[in-house]
Amino acid sequence: MTIVYLKRGKDQAERAEDDAKTRAVVEGTLKDIEVNGDAAVRNLSEKFDNYSPQSFKLSDQDVDDLMAQLSDRELADIKFAQEQVRNFAQAQRDTMLDLEVETLPGVILGHKNIPVQSVGCYVPGGKFPMVASAHMSVATASVAGVPRIVACTPPFKGKPNPAVIAAMHLGGAHEIYVMGGIQAIGAMALGTETIDPVHMLVGPGNAYVAEAKRQLFGRVGIDLFAGPTETMVIADETVDAEICATDLLGQAEHGYNSPCVMLTNSRKLAEETLTEIDRILKILPTADTASVSWEEYGEVIVCDTYEEMLAVADDIASEHVQVMTDRDDWFLENMTCYGALFLGPRTNVSNGDKVIGTNHTLPTKKAGRYTGGLWVGKFLKTHSYQKVLTDEAATMIGEYGSRLCLLEGFVGHAEQCNVRVRRYGGINVPYGEGAPFREAAE
């Protein structure tokens, strides 16, 4: 097995040091919000966003005024994208059925899918107004039937971004706040004097937002750890360097710490892609951001075989994986750890980010090893229930339960079963003893 790195990014020690600094900042900020509430939120907004409105919450009139600033074409494009997201989310929701089954005569077991009752949706927007993130969180929560959807987004260039606010409103947000970063996450999760806390936080964000969600997990639910964007291009010589370089840099422009990895079995393609990246960075308007990500987090890895490429890809577990090979479906069948796959050269990560309908809030930092991305099912809780309808079933299950409880030493548990055996079966089980075995109980 020969794996060659033509380019490496920051090593894990450096990345861990960055993470430690972020953790400390977030911990102190969340404590400030918990203690000082609205005052802390306002101070943080003034400090980081230079924004201090009379109210962070938008009124219906505020929303109408902002949406009026958009052209008919812009609104139509937002609605088209949102329709694709809703359609796919609804198709997914339709696969999630309530269940009720009689597992034994007189024994009914079931489950119900119940929406989370309040959700806080974070929509990034400080550097770029992430209109699509509103579809992915707010609209999907709406399809799930969440009765209270709170949406937060930072000001863009000192004021609310009309397109983001329109997407939030059209998506079904019940409350919209213009605030960003840790203060938005903390206010939604912890609550303040004017904001009721939510039960769950969702949405992507920068390293500070992702860390805030991590620290708050347990007090509230979260969708997943969706930190700085990651992308991987898996390619062979069926494609050229231009498309590979374009797909890598298209995600590198997200931020200064967006890992982008090329994985190939062609050294020629790898070297040509490195040259093409240098060319594109000279003309890309967002090169000031993309070049930093590429320099510090970009990697180019050359493998001998497709099997090696698969093994390396599953180990990295990247958020976005663009596959452009002579066997794209083979990767679909065999890859196990990733956020989302983009199969073939005709599609790309930006399709998923903005319009095609799959959700773009996806696991980062190897979280794809144990979870998929945000989807309608994340907003639903599957709760089980049971019913015993006959005396015979109550007696038979109770007899087994009695003996199994005592096997573990739980006398109080056993008596919960025994009292049913006595009442519904007419069997006099001595207190604290296991129910006798009966052939009829088989």
Q: CB-hemisphere CA count at 13 Å for 288?
A: 2
Between the alpha carbon of residue 224 and those of residues 20, 358, 377, 404, 430, the distances in Å are 19, 16, 13, 38, 51
Euclidean distance between CA atoms 351 and 355, whole angstroms: 6
CA 137 to chain centre: 9
Per DSSP, helices labelled H in 5-112 are 12-49, 60-67, 72-95
Q: Are strands 107-115 and 99-104 parallel, antiparallel or unpaired?
A: antiparallel
Beta bridge partners of 300: 7, 262
CB-based burial, 372-386: b 16+ in 10 Å, e otherwise: bbbbbbbbbbeeeee
Catalytic residues: 319-320
Q: Are strands 340-343 and 260-264 parallel, antiparallel or unpaired?
A: unpaired
Q: Which of 253, 330, 259 is nearest to 8 (CA)?
A: 259
Cβ–Cβ under 8 Å, residues 32 and 214: no
- Per DSSP, 235 falls in state E
Annotated binding site for substrate: 229, 251, 254, 320, 353, 408, 413
3-state secondary structure of 95: helix
CA dihedral 157, 163, 166, 172 (to 10 degrees): -100
Annotated binding site for NAD(+): 122, 183, 206
Beta bridge partners of 264: 235, 302
The DSSP H or E segment spanning 402 is: helix 391-407
Annotated binding site: 122, 183, 206, 229, 251, 254, 320, 353, 408, 413
- Per DSSP, 337 falls in state S
Number of neighbours of residue 237 by Cβ within 10 angstroms: 12
Between the alpha carbon of residue 170 and those of residues 83, 239, 266, 274, 374, the distances in Å are 10, 39, 46, 42, 19
